[in-house]
Amino acid sequence: MSKVRTKDIIEKFQLELISGEEGISRPIITSDLSRPGLEMAGYFTYYPKERIQLLGRTELTFFAKLTPEEKKSRMEQLCTDVTPAIIVSREMEAPPELIEASEKSNVPVLRSPLKTTRLSSRLTNFLESKLAPTTAVHGVLVDIYGVGVLITGKSGVGKSETALELVKRGHRLIADDCVEIRQEDRDTLVGSAPELIRHLLEIRGLGIIDVMTLFGAGAVRSHKRISLVIDLELWDPNKQYDRLGLDEEKMKILDAELTKLTIPVRPGRNLAVIIEVAAMNFRLKRMGFNAAEQFTNKLADVIEDGDHEDF
């Protein structure tokens, strides 16, 4: 099933349907748009027919100077069996040749009051959001001091309980158990909750609780950009854990790489506080302050000074 169809943009942008009503269920497969200027001049060799076509003042002014035969031919070539829509901007009149060709090919002809550039920008943003690559991850997503933290780990390790403690400490829940992730840019991942489990937390022994009802609207949000991944794992005495914070592990989701921290879990460790501090430390690193590097540099200076004293 296609994520977006022509009827979706008609509803979203309140476009006027002029002709080609039978084609409003056509799928839109790309966020790229086309302004067919060269096509108006008769060059259809590389015509991107699968894109939405925008006709602005420039295209229609040029079109008006063509002969009747050229007008009919150009519009028939413009309307193909895969073209999702042709949109006329600035509330200009659609040429009769376009309406006739659209009815034959069932290509929806739409009209918008917006200027072509503004319409193009809004359409592109909407389509990029809807057509972005998506995936789902088992985990919990929490907004901690403005940092989107994805908490992962095996079932029963304490992800939801940690999220509950973080919400009590004033942070905001985005999703529990299943996090839907879409890639809005090359390195931008945005997480949200499926509609069915939005604002809900599952706590073993308590069951399902509604975070917004218990803690208020300020304790939840609908979506958040993911910046940091924290993986909770049961403490392994045979494993060497990073004690300085110099090693930076990465986790790849879709095409983006995120900083990943592995936090061992055992009785007595306050995971909520640790994750809270991890988020604050992540913000500090993005601002250029790295405590681990500063400590290492100071240690190296002390060692070097000690070596000089021996001489």
**Does the annotation list 71 as a binding residue?**
no
Query: Which residues, 6+ apart, have CB-to-CB distance to 240 below 8 Å?
Result: none
Determine whether the annotation assigns residue 155 to a binding site: yes
Does 159 belong to an annotated binding site?
A: yes
Give the residue from 9, 31, 92 showing the smallest Cα distance to 58: 92
Catalytic residue among 65, 186, 239, 243: 243
Q: How far apart are CA 256 and CA 228, in angstroms?
A: 12
Catalytic residue from among 5, 8, 72, 177: 177
C-beta of residue 141 within 8 angstroms of C-beta of residue 179: yes
- Please say if 177 is a catalytic residue: yes
Q: Compute CA distances 245 → 103, 141, 149, whole Å.
A: 65, 23, 17
How many Å apart are CA 117 and CA 126, to the nearest integer?
A: 14
Please choose, from the candidates 87, 67, 65, the residue with its C-alpha nearest in 3D space to the C-alpha of residue 78.
Answer: 87
Known catalytic residue: 159?
yes
> Is 226 strand, coil or helix?
strand
Query: Is 156 annotated as a binding-site member?
Result: yes
Q: Which of 26, 159, 221, 224 is catalytic?
A: 159
Q: Is 202 annotated as a binding residue?
A: yes
C-alpha distance across the termini of the chain, in Å: 76
Nearest to 281 by CA among 248, 250, 239: 248
Annotated active-site residue in 138, 169, 250, 286: 138
SS3 165: helix
Give CA angle at 262 (271, 215), nearest 5°: 35
Binding site for Mg(2+), residues? 160, 202
Binding site, residues? 153-160, 202
Binding site for ATP, residues? 153-160
Which active-site residues does the annotation give? Answer: 138, 159, 177, 243
